[in-house]
Amino acid sequence: MAGEFFVMEKLFRLGHEPALTLGNAKSIDVLVRRSDGTLREVSVKAIRGGGKWGVASEDESAAKTRVYVLLLYRDFDNPKADVDVFVIPARDVQRLKEPWFKGHAVYCSNAVSRDAIEKYRDAWHHI
């Protein structure tokens, strides 16, 4: 929930109208009416320390309105610590995801995987 509220606050500050789904939408955490009136579906994934974010196993290469916001809390217990934010369109997540024993994931556990997502750091314009 901390990640979802973080994303909601940021979207409000960017001039959008976010609404928390509270589990009523299968894989969507926040519905967003953008300042131009169009809608976006946001899936928020948060991790502590590092590793990987679990993402949808189904093919999302055609998902035009879904965006993932991946949050990396390197020091979650320190309220002054910044969070690393990666805003990635679902169609790009489709290209980045790798198999994981529970389905699929986007990894940040090594230099290669971190380099692959770096261009999405703070890329709020994707929403």
| Residue 38 belongs to domain with CATH number | 3.40.1350.10
The SS3 call for residue 127 is: coil
Q: Terminal CA-to-CA distance of the chain, rounded, Å?
A: 20
> Pairing mode, if any, of strands 66-73 and 98-100?
unpaired
- One-letter amino acid for residue 19 of the chain: A
In 24-100 the beta strands, taken as DSSP E runs, fall at 30-33, 39-48, 52-55, 66-73, 84-89, 98-100
Phi, psi of 86 (to 5 degrees): -125, 120
Apex 18 CA angle, 114 and 1, nearest 5: 60
Q: What is the pLDDT along the chain (127 residues), one digit of tens a residue?
A: 888 999 999 999 999 999 998 765 667 899 999 988 999 999 999 999 888 999 988 999 999 999 999 999 988 888 888 899 999 999 999 999 999 887 899 999 888 888 999 999 999 999 9
In the chain, the number of structural domains is 1
Residues spanned by the domain of 99: 2-126
